[in-house]
Amino acid sequence: MALWLQENEPDKDFKFVITPTGAELPPMQAHWRKLEGLLGKPLIVVNPGFTLQDLTRKWNMLPRFNARFCTKMLKIIPFKSWVCNTQLPAVSYVGLRADEEGRTGMETDDLGLFFSTRFPLRELGWGICEVLGYLEKRGVTVPDRTDCDRCYHQTLHEWWVLWKFYPALYEDACCDEDRTGHTYRSEQRDTWPASLRKLAKAFQERGEPPQRGRTSECKACRI
């Protein structure tokens, strides 16, 4: 969306904002650096001054489906505060696609009449196929993981990748569970262990990666 906006609406002085949690994997950090080069301007980093790990230590709890404080505390609230303090009036451009009908973006009623939201990809009618096709033309490959390294929502295969290729980060996530007495994974999600330490043992015993779950590849067409 950022690349398309700059290419097709060059008269506007866009500010490109990211809200990192401090737990992004190296490929995502490299992706941001590449995007800065393509855009020709720095990405504005907005955060509250603490990280996801800071929150888990302070509150002695882990993010879960029913306690998604990570998104609220590290992304939504800091972004709204930044907008209110520095940018009003403002238009927020959100990169939700036309094939993501169930997603609405953050609530903005509390920001008043001087704040509005646009969804350029939906205005274009672009779904995943069109987005990936455009990115391919621009030489951009989206990282396999764009969320946190220990996101409760990630697939079993993604946990395996973290265990296999980022053992120090996996061990740190295990320490989170040891300290809080809770697990990132739900016991009801599948038949694999919920505990990351027990999951690592199961990975080692199995000797091969679990089958991939969700993917960012387009299944409706070949790019």
Q: According to the model, what pLDDT value does residue 167 have?
A: 98
Q: Which long-range contacts (CB under 8 A, 24 or more apart) does 210-214 make?
A: 210/156, 210/157, 210/160, 211/157, 212/155, 212/157, 213/155, 213/156, 213/157, 213/158, 214/155
Bridge partners of 148, per DSSP, are 24
In 3D space, the residue among 101, 222, 212 whose CA is nearest the CA of residue 158 turns out to be 212
In 3D space, the residue among 210, 173, 163, 208 whose CA is nearest the CA of residue 191 turns out to be 210
Which residue type does 1 have? M
The pTM is what?
0.86
Place of tokens 């990211």: 18
Q: According to the model, what pLDDT value does residue 163 have?
A: 98
Q: According to the model, what pLDDT value does residue 65 have?
A: 86
Q: According to the model, what pLDDT value does residue 223 have?
A: 40
Full set of structural domains in the chain with CATH: 2-137 (3.40.50.620), 156-206 (no CATH)
CA 69 from centre of chain: 14
Give the gyration radius of the chain's Cα atoms. Answer: 19
Contact (Cβ atoms closer than 8 angstroms) between residue 32 and residue 59: no
Q: According to the model, what pLDDT value does residue 214 have?
A: 55
Question: Tens digits of per-residue pLDDT, 134-193?
Answer: 999 999 999 999 999 999 999 999 999 999 999 999 999 999 999 999 999 999 889 999
Q: Which residues of the chain have pLDDT under 50?
A: 216, 222-223
